Structure 1
Amino acid sequence: MASPTGPGRPRAQRSVVFPSPVVVLSIVAVAMAVIAFVATRGDQPTERERVLPAGNESSAASSPAATPKATPSATAKPKPKPKPIQRDDYYVEVYNNSGITGLAGTVGEKATAAGWKVVGTDNWYGSVPTNTVYYPPKMSRVAKQLARDLGIDRTAAADGAMKLDRLTVILTGQL
């Protein structure tokens, strides 16, 4: 008797093929997108503007939908302007980090002439990329004003070696 799986007959194989992880992830992503779309789909607004046919102006005037509505820009309060900076309320130290003799003193005089309270000038030893006004927390706006007054393009938060009650100007070259 010959066996049913003998050399002349092909063997019947049954197996399950599992999809690759990419296919599974794609199916999950599509399902999540459909769920998100359905969950965030907005309902139709319950109030609609009523359009009346021409010639019904009298009923339109008495209709609540015809009353003019205030626009958000008309009812919004204007943002108050910040108070002007009182330059003489802030201490400023000016440091020279260049090879130019007397640069800190010259810039300190310029800051004093602009109304700032310069409390010291000296040399700075360290690495600073360009002329910079350093500021302590909550004095960013004041630092930007000092930088504008002196013609300096860069401001940055003060680091650990600087005093936190004043602005620090470090110069790497002429202004």
Structure 2
Amino acid sequence: MAFFPSATGRRSRDERGVAFPSPLVMLSVLAVAMASITFLATRDQAPTERRVDNTATIASAEQSPEPTPTATRTPKPKPAIKRGEVYVEVYNNSGIKGLAATTATKATTIGWSVVGEDNWYGVVPTTTVYFPPRLQAAGKQLALDLGIARTAPAVGEMRKDRLTVILTTDAPQ
């Protein structure tokens, strides 16, 4: 049988294509119509699900909120502190002879760049690592390395390009 019309202009029987049964066509049209109506009826409604942030209701600092699937954030890595690139000055305000030298040696052994040690004249309430604003993270790391509990922003005549450690009688030895 030929797929093109014959010389008489009549098509052969196998060229008609596929004939769908009318119930199948009607069900398909009905399904598309129902889907369209449902879409139009619900498109302007507010979503029924809401995200509840319960981190503010934590009673204790020891408890931590369980991570939710929508709140999976990866923390940004903190820049590594390069101890050898940060200058440190150590001052003794305790009256204990050699305390600044001992602490300076300990800091140097850990990798800090100690550039000076001397006596401090003034009143400091407790052993403290003082830091300029741009070296805050380094100041906290130095305090951790030396076992010093207190850090504070640099004050007065302290240099703004280095950390300043002032040791009192409560300094770790």
Residue 84 of structure 2: which of 83, 88, 95 is its match?
A: 88
- What are the Cα deviations for residues 37-73 of structure 1, in whole angstroms up to 9, with x where unaligned? xxxxxxxx62337xxxxxxxxxxxxxxxxxxxx9422
Displacement of 1:139 in angstroms is 1.4
Alpha-carbon distance in structure 2 between the residues aligned to 1:71 and 1:127: 52
Residues paired across the two proteins, number? 109
Aligned residue runs from structure 1 range 124-139, under 5 A? 124-139=120-135
Change (3 A) 1:47 1:119: same
Structure 1 gap ranges (5+): 1-44, 50-69
Residue 96 of structure 2: which of 96, 100, 107 is its match?
A: 100
Q: Does 1:73 align with 2:81?
A: no
Alpha-carbon distance in structure 2 between the residues aligned to 1:146 and 1:88: 11
Alpha-carbon distance in structure 1 between the residues aligned to 2:83 and 2:117: 18
The residue identity in structure 1 corresponding to 2:81 is I
The 4+ residue runs of structure 1 with deviation greater than 3 A are none
TM-score, normalization: structure 1?
0.59
Structure 2 gap ranges (5+): 1-44, 50-67
Aligned residue runs from structure 1 range 8-27, under 5 A? none
Displacement of 1:83 in angstroms is 2.0
The residue identity in structure 2 corresponding to 1:111 is A
Displacement of 1:112 in angstroms is 0.1
Percent identity over the alignment is 55
Matching residue of 2:48: 48
